[in-house]
């Protein structure tokens, strides 16, 4: 670890002693001391106390400008007034019934208005949405295999936990990546059913279809791969996947858990002009409550109506989440708010780019809709393997240095990205940029020294 990073870590520990204590307590009863592996990092994670608008405070009383926003699930920002009002109204009239109600068709209408689907079912998490979408695709085609991309993340079920963060040498040739389980406990049969291809490489997709004739039910992908920072589809890639699916009788599933709300009003299909057969939504559509949905053409969703595919869930369409969802669609994810976020995003991106150029940092900014990331690479990444070349210590230096200056620039982990909420302001972006300007010279210096060291060896 180099001295400047060491210094930032010491500052972090000095500022957050209560988080360290809370983490020690959690560790006794909860593996890694966290409720989801993504929340664990060294030396310990920040323990949160409360949030409002674009900020949160930790248990030590430090205030942070929040661009983590629950891993991008809060484009509404914390406690959005419209969401709070709707939720409070519901809380005193019953939180769960396990029975149908009128908010269901209302929210289904909202979704079908924006996205290219005719019918939807609801759930509580992105994992559920992709799991059911995959099952439906298998039922619709009578095929078991589902193609995914190396580095793509679609949740925690067996079909999704394949080649999420595989390592060399087990991941094989980039032109024909090997399907690698994402940890123990994923059955070998699941792995065998998930052929993997390389993002932005249509030839690797064609190869998989050739190797598995008539066996691939669907391609599932995030239209922008967002679990490797931001990996943008190159021109023609999404169109090419659409054509390959059409030619092979497979369905195209857009996992829009992140992109659905955060790219723009109509999600990725509007943004890129490519229509999938199925979409999966979660995170920011709930405005801060657990809400998910998956949808498709009637001919696919009718498999549920005809009792051929089973779907259920105790928490589905609980009135509190649905009230939050309706308020989110109608009062948060509006065209006017997208324009506001877009303006802030342009400003943040331009500011970062100016500072990067000024200090000579080898990096670029990727951005799309409410999302963006400082990508510590000399040139744009095209796929998962490009992403693995990052200098992790340099990224940690960036993250801890920003956090020490009261700006959480994105969730911890260099595979994530920032989110700008509808409650962020111009002043927030100024604060973010001022922190980066303060940090950037040390980052550039460290990068130059580390590059020189590598060359010397
Ligand atoms: C693209 C994508 N799909 C699916 C999921 C899983 O969603 P959840 O964590 O709500 O189960 C995530 C979560 O980060 C995601 O980013």
Give the position, in ligand 1's atom list, of the atom nearest the Cα of 290.
Answer: 10
Q: Which residues contact 345 (CB under 8 A, 6 or more apart)?
A: 367, 369, 370, 372, 420
Choose among 334, 405, 399: nearest CA to 68. 399
> Residue 413 burial (CB < 10 Å; 0-12/13-18/19+)?
middle
| Alpha-carbon torsion angle 45, 50, 56, 57, nearest 10 | -70
Examine the domain organization and report whether 360 and 443 are in the same domain.
Answer: yes
Q: What are phi and psi of 424, to 5 degrees?
A: -70, 150
Q: What is the pLDDT of residue 335?
A: 97
Three-class secondary structure assignment of the chain: CCHHHHHHHHHHHHHCHHHHHHHHHHHHHCHHHCCCHHHCCCCCCCCEEEEEECEEEECCCCEEEECCHHHHCCCCCECCHHHHHHHHHHHCCCCCCCCCCHHHHHHHHHHHHHCCCCEEEEECCHHHHHHHHHHHHHHHHCCCEEEEECCCCCCCCCCCCECCCCCCCCCCCCCCCCCCECCCCCCHHHHHCCCEECCCCHHHHHHHHHHCCCCEEEEEECCCECCCCCECCCCCHHHHHHHHHHHHCCEEEEECCCHHHHCCCCHHHHHHCCCCCEEEECHHHHECECCEEEEECHHHHHHHHCCCCCCCCCCCCCHHHHHHHHHHHHHHCCHHHHHHHHHHHHHHHHHHHHHHHHHCCCCEEEEECCEEEEECCCCCCCCHHHHCCCCHHHHHHHHHHHHHCCEECCCCCCCCCEECCCCCCHHHHHHHHHHHHHHHHHHHHHHHHHHHHHHHC
Is 60 noted as a catalytic residue in this protein? no
Give the position, in ligand 1's atom list, of the atom nearest the Cα of 38.
Answer: 14
CA of residue 258 to ligand 1 center, whole Å: 7
Examine the domain organization and report whether 301 and 338 are in the same domain.
Answer: no
| Alpha-carbon span 330 to 335, nearest angstrom | 10
Examine the domain organization and report whether 219 and 300 are in the same domain.
Answer: yes
Does the C-beta of 71 come closer than 6 Å to ligand 1?
Answer: yes
CA of residue 443 to ligand 1 center, whole Å: 31
Question: What angle do helix axes 426-456 and 392-404 make, rounded to 10 degrees?
Answer: 150
Examine the domain organization and report whether 447 and 343 are in the same domain.
Answer: yes
Give the rounded percent of residues in the chain with a pLDDT score beyond 90. Answer: 98
pLDDT tens digits, 81-121? 999 999 999 999 999 999 999 999 999 999 999 999 999 99
Is 153 noted as a catalytic residue in this protein? yes
* Contact yes or no for 360/378 (Cβ under 8 A): no
Q: Closest Cα to atom 4, ligand 1: which residue? A: 154
* Contact yes or no for 300/140 (Cβ under 8 A): yes
Does the C-beta of 416 come closer than 6 Å to ligand 1?
Answer: no
Domain that holds residue 44: 3-75+334-456
The number of domains in the chain is 2
Among 283, 338, 384, 415, the active-site one is 283
Examine the domain organization and report whether 368 and 416 are in the same domain.
Answer: yes
Residue in 38, 73, 155 to alter for ligand 1 test, most ligand atoms within 8 A of Cβ: 155
CATH number at residue 47: 3.90.1150.10
CA of residue 241 to ligand 1 center, whole Å: 22
pLDDT tens digits, 176-203? 999 999 999 999 999 999 999 999 999 9
Q: What is the pLDDT of residue 456?
A: 78
Does the C-beta of 155 come closer than 6 Å to ligand 1?
Answer: yes
CA of residue 208 to ligand 1 center, whole Å: 25
Examine the domain organization and report whether 90 and 112 are in the same domain.
Answer: yes
Is 255 noted as a catalytic residue in this protein? yes
Examine the domain organization and report whether 356 and 341 are in the same domain.
Answer: yes
Examine the domain organization and report whether 35 and 130 are in the same domain.
Answer: no
Give me the half-sphere count of Cα atoms (radius 13 Å) on the Cβ side of residue 63: 6
Residue in 134, 152, 154, 368 to alter for ligand 1 test, most ligand atoms within 8 A of Cβ: 154
Does the C-beta of 153 come closer than 6 Å to ligand 1?
Answer: yes
CATH number at residue 263: 3.40.640.10
Sheet holding 196-197, edge to edge: 119-123, 292-296, 278-281, 251-255, 216-221, 145-149, 196-197
Q: What is the pLDDT of residue 365?
A: 98
**CA of 266: how far to CAs of 221, 237, 274, in Å?**
17, 20, 11
Q: Closest Cα to atom 7, ligand 1: which residue? A: 126
Prediction pTM value = 0.97
CA of residue 92 to ligand 1 center, whole Å: 30
Does the C-beta of 282 come closer than 6 Å to ligand 1?
Answer: yes
Does the C-beta of 255 come closer than 6 Å to ligand 1?
Answer: yes
* Contact yes or no for 231/225 (Cβ under 8 A): yes
Domain boundary among 299, 332, 365: 332
Among 255, 277, 415, 428, the active-site one is 255
Does the C-beta of 262 come closer than 6 Å to ligand 1?
Answer: no
Domain boundary among 291, 309, 332: 332
Examine the domain organization and report whether 296 and 227 are in the same domain.
Answer: yes
Examine the domain organization and report whether 119 and 53 are in the same domain.
Answer: no
Q: What is the pLDDT of residue 272?
A: 98
Among 153, 338, 384, 398, the active-site one is 153
Q: What is the pLDDT of residue 384?
A: 98
Does the C-beta of 130 come closer than 6 Å to ligand 1?
Answer: yes
CA of residue 71 to ligand 1 center, whole Å: 9
CA of residue 74 to ligand 1 center, whole Å: 13
Domain boundary among 284, 305, 332: 332
Examine the domain organization and report whether 200 and 324 are in the same domain.
Answer: yes
Average pLDDT, the chain: 97
Low-confidence ranges of the chain (pLDDT < 70): none
Examine the domain organization and report whether 263 and 319 are in the same domain.
Answer: yes
């Amino acid at each position: 670890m180099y001295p400047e990073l060491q210094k930032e870590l010491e500052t972090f520990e000095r500022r957050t002693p209560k988080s360290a204590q809370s983490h020690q307590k959690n560790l006794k009863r909860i593996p890694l001391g966290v409720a989801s592996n993504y929340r664990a990092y060294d030396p310990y994670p920040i323990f949160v106390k409360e949030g409002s608008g674009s900020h949160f405070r930790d248990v030590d009383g430090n205030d942070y400008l929040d661009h983590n926003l629950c891993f991008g699930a809060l484009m509404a920002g914390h406690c959005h007034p419209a969401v709070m009002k709707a939720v409070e109204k519901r809380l005193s009239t019953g939180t769960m019934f396990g029975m149908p109600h009128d908010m269901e068709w209302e929210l289904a209408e909202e979704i079908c208005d924006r996205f290219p689907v005719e019918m939807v079912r609801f759930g509580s998490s992105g994992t559920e949405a992709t799991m059911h979408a995959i099952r439906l695709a298998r039922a619709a085609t009578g095929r078991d295999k589902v193609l995914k991309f190396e580095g793509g993340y679609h949740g925690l079920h067996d079909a999704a936990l394949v080649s999420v963060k595989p390592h060399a040498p087990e991941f094989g040739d980039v032109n024909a990546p090997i399907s690698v389980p994402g940890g123990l406990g994923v059955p070998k049969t699941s792995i065998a059913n998930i052929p993997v291809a390389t993002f932005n490489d249509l030839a690797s997709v064609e190869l998989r279809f050739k190797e598995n004739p008539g066996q691939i039910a669907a391609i599932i992908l995030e239209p922008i791969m967002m679990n490797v920072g931001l990996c943008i589809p190159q021109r023609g890639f999404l169109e090419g996947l659409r054509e390959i699916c059409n030619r092979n009788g497979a369905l195209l599933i857009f996992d829009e858990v992140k992109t659905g709300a955060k790219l723009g009003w109509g999600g990725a299909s509007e943004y890129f002009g490519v229509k999938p057969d199925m979409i999966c939504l979660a995170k920011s559509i709930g405005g801060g409550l657990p809400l998910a949905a998956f949808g498709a053409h009637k001919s696919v969703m009718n498999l549920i109506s005809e009792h051929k595919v089973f779907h259920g869930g105790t928490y589905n369409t609980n009135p509190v989440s649905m009230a939050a969802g309706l308020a989110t669609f109608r009062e948060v994810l509006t065209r006017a708010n997208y324009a506001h976020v877009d303006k802030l995003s342009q400003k943040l991106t331009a500011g970062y780019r100016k500072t990067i150029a000024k200090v000579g940092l080898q990096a670029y900014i990727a951005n799309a809709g409410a999302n963006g990331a400082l990508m510590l690479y000399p040139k744009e990444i095209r796929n998962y393997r490009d992403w693995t070349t990052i200098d992790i210590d340099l990224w940690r230096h960036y993250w801890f240095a920003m956090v020490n200056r009261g700006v959480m620039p994105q969730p911890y982990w260099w595979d994530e990205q920032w989110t700008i909420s509808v409650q962020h302001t111009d002043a927030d972006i100024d604060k973010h940029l001022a922190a980066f300007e303060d940090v950037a010279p040390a980052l550039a210096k460290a990068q130059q020294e580390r590059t020189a060291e590598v060359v010397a060896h």
